[in-house]
Amino acid sequence: MIVGVGGQGTLLASRIIGNALIEQGYDVKMSEVHGMAQRGGSVVTYVKYGEKVHSPIIEKAGADIILAFEELEAARWISFLKKDGILIMNTQQINPMPVITGSASYPERLTESLEDMVANCISLDALSLAKKAGTVKAVNVVLIGVMAKASGQDSGIWLEALERTVPERFLEMNRKAFDLGYTAV
Amino acid sequence: MKKLMLGNEAVARGVYEAGATVASSYPGTPSTEITENIAKYDEIYSEWAPNEKVALEVAAGAAIAGARSFSAMKHVGLNVAADPLFTMSYIGANGGLVIAVADDPGMHSSQNEQDSRHYARASKTLMLEPSDSQEAKDFTIKAFDLSEEYDTPVIVRLSTRISHSQSLVELGDRREVELKEYTCNPAKNVMMPAMGRKRHIIVEERINKLKKFADEGPFNEMELKDKSIGIISSGIAYQYAKEVFPDASFLKIGIAYPLPDKMILDFANHVHKIIVIEELDPIIEEHCRALGLQVTGKNKLPLCGEYSADLLGQKLLGTEKGTYSVNDEILPVRPPVMCAGCPHRGFFTAANRLKLIVTGDIGCYTLGALPPLNALDTCICMGAGFTAAHGFDKARGNEFSKKVIGVMGDSTFTHSGITGLVDIVYNKGISTVVVLDNSITGMTGHQNNPVNGFTIKGEPTRQVDIEKLAYAIGFERVRIVDPFDVDGTVKVLREETKAEEPSLIISQRPCALLKSVKYEGCTSVDYDKCRRCMMCMKIGCPAISDRDGRITIDETLCVGCGLCTNVCKFGAMTLKEDCRIEY
């Protein structure tokens, strides 16, 4: 599952992952969010693979990996992670409008409590790494790098998927972002 | 070759492979990507029409003229296109006529949750319902064949999770289809009472033939396994049901209308108990009951919202899953917001200063209804932004009307705002109405429209001139404002709402997400000047927060539009150009 805030580039991340899984011969289904929810709302993209996939949506306690682009969103969707699943989270905080208007406050110490709760939790400041790669927009590819490492698979599969999905002119920057993620943990 | 495709992309591929040559649509989530993808095939003439009624009429004309023709829309778009749909059911087709309609259970991006299957029944039109991307393509191709064979428009019904899910699709080649011969045939193509009466009889005969076709398959499939439970389901709900009941017997419905009576009764004879699993309204369920069957359905499952395997497990089997949990109450919700740099934010900031009643419309600017702007009083449907303001005028009189404005976007204006202008002038209204012109159809993801001067393929074309159009209709007061000049916009709003005649204001500034829009740098706050008056917080920009007692700019979100520097009375907010130097 890929969770985050509309506009953070979750769609591209799911497409890179889906692409890599198809190359490995799996049946793949992905469910995306378009339209109004994309405008800065809480967004979730599901990527399911296996021999035969029916529903494109992941159930509670059904995700092997959650890739969270934002701290609050990691907490919001954590009940979808399997007990032995991996949470990979960007510690970046983006204030939702109720926090901005003062009608709610951004919860404190979310990263710490998720780290305490989830057995396999990898948290990192992916935003800084993305900046290092050259653009704040590369948070998605940094996180894919982290996931590639955490899933124990050869990085080549993911880099090939990246090449197939990302336009040529952004490729170098994205390769760098992937490497920064891959070597971060 | 297999390719991962959105359901919408697969429908487009189906239109292509079926040899269609004309497609006309209006964008609407979750249907938009169908026509965006059709536009990539040069073999098909494609266009964005100003609205769904126009789009379907264009496709209808093209079908009568002999071409395989297509139109796509969202569920509420079919309301707009209902008029041509019902009559085209009488006329039939010539070249195949296929309509894709995408429902939005769960209302991810819609104003209601209507079930389009009712339209198939009401208009007596064949409706197919795919359950994944492969079927979306296959059913679309078959829809053209059936349209020609049975001389009927065919609707392909999708839903958000079909349209916006990707799954594998086997690609085929395009079939080149000759134009069908066109001959003048008023008895079939001119619907007046005398002709319509005869055509109605043919429509009823056609439905009987289609019922027979539905019973014979191959769209409806019976899969007999464990006979203690038989599930009747269709579309995405079928996929959820397969996940929860992998061993049950299934009757998968691929023809949403007309339903296969014989097959349903036959299925009932094979299984002990029937559960009907369908999102939204109990259409299959009520049909089963009318056939005299006892079924489980909406007595256990909800009418509202979208389904999931989780929900089916909970409601039908009582399974509760859970592992990790965080106390939801401490997690603030994250509703969608207008983007940083959005021109609508400037306009609503101005309107709020005058405490106006604002009758709104459908588009990105509908988000102005949410806190902290709270700027909209109504949102009904496309076009109602102007006409509802006229209703306020006529209900409460001219003095009250001076506190009311109607707003809608540029694309919405050509969709159904023009008739509202006509109504206001013709019926001596005094409403002030505003076109929020951001040069694009925004919420659906940036489609060109008749106002911005580009076609679906990005080619330059003639632009509809809103100003001249308003003058031609009879508006004598037409003003143009820049919504980021908040004071100037307030001044114009004050003058125009006071006037004893109708006014049109065009609030012009392009969407900040357009590639052609280049703002530089981002805002920085001078804390020596900041008095914490919170004016900047009232504009509801996602890049501005009050953190630890200081107004803070999120530099990853700020686009440097400068609106906040215009509303700050103390000069504490300025644009700096070097804020992104670290990247």
Architecture per CATH, domain B343-508, reads as: 3-Layer(aba) Sandwich (3.40)
Q: What is the pTM of this model?
A: 0.96
Looking at the predicted complex, does its ipTM rise above 0.85? yes
What pLDDT was estimated at residue B471? 98
B59-76 mean pLDDT:
98
Q: List for chain B the helix, strand, coil content (%; round to 5).
A: 40, 20, 40
The pLDDT, as a whole number, for residue B582 is: 37
| A25-34, B98-107, B172-181: least confidently modelled range | A25-34
Looking at the domain B221-317, which fold is it? Answer: Rossmann fold (3.40.50)
Q: pLDDT at position A37, please?
A: 67
In this predicted structure, the answer to whether residue B533 has a pLDDT above a threshold of 70 is: yes
B520 band by pLDDT with thresholds 50, 70 and 90 = confident
Query: What is the CATH topology of the domain spanning A2-127+154-166?
Result: Pyruvate-ferredoxin Oxidoreductase; domain 3 (3.40.920)
For residue range B311-334, list pLDDT tens digits in order.
999 999 999 887 799 988 999 999
Residue B547's pLDDT is what? 86
| Topology adopted by domain B2-216 | Rossmann fold (3.40.50)
In the numeric block, which tokens belong to residue B402?
């001076």
CB-based contact A59 B582, cutoff 8 Å: no
Shortest distance between the Cα of A30 and any Cα of chain B, in A, equals: 5
Query: Has residue B95 got a pLDDT over 70?
Result: yes
Chain B residues lying within 8 Å of A73, measured CB to CB: 334
pLDDT of B579 above 60: no
AA letter at A152:
G
Q: What is the 3-state secondary structure (H, E, C) of B273-327?
A: CEEEECCCCCHHHHHHHHCCCCEECCCCCCCCCCCCHHHHHHHHHCCCCCCCCCC
pLDDT at B578: 63
At A68-110, the pLDDT tens digits run 999 999 999 999 999 999 999 999 999 999 999 889 999 999 9
- Whether residue A30 lies within 8 A of chain B, CB to CB, comes out as yes
Say yes or no: B534 contacts chain A, CB-CB below 8 A: no
A12 in reach of chain B (CB within 8 A): no
Which regions of B199-271 does DSSP assign to beta strands (E)? 221-223, 226-234, 248-253, 255-257
Inter-chain residue contact A79 with B331, CB threshold 8 Å: no
The candidate with the shortest Cα–Cα distance to B109, out of B83, B74, B78, is B74
CATH 3.40.50.970 in chain B is located at 2-216, 343-508
pLDDT 10s digits, B427-484: 999 999 999 999 999 999 999 999 999 999 999 999 999 999 999 999 999 999 999 9
**Which letter does DSSP use for residue B417 in this model?**
I
Q: Which of 3.60.110.10, 3.30.70.360, 3.40.50.2020, 3.30.70.20 is the CATH number of B522-576?
A: 3.30.70.20
Report yes or no: B455 at the A interface, CB cutoff 8 Å: no
At A151 the pLDDT is 86
Q: Note which residues in 38-67 of chain B have CB less than 8 A from chain A.
A: none
Which residues does chain A have within 8 Å of residue B512's beta carbon, measured at their own beta carbons? Answer: none
Region B241-255 average pLDDT: 98
pLDDT at A38 over 90: no
- The tokens describing B581, both together, are 């130097």
**Confidence tier at B583 by pLDDT (50, 70, 90):** very low
pLDDT digit string, tens, across residues B163-222 = 999 999 999 999 999 999 999 999 999 999 999 999 999 999 999 999 999 999 889 999
DSSP-derived letter for residue B465 is -
Residue from A59, A64, A81, A99 to probe the interface with B (highest B Cβ count within 10 Å): A59
Query: Residues B348-401: pLDDT tens digits?
Result: 999 999 999 999 999 999 999 999 999 999 999 999 999 999 999 999 999 999
Contacts of A105 in chain B (CB under 8 A): 332
Q: How many residues does chain B have?
A: 583
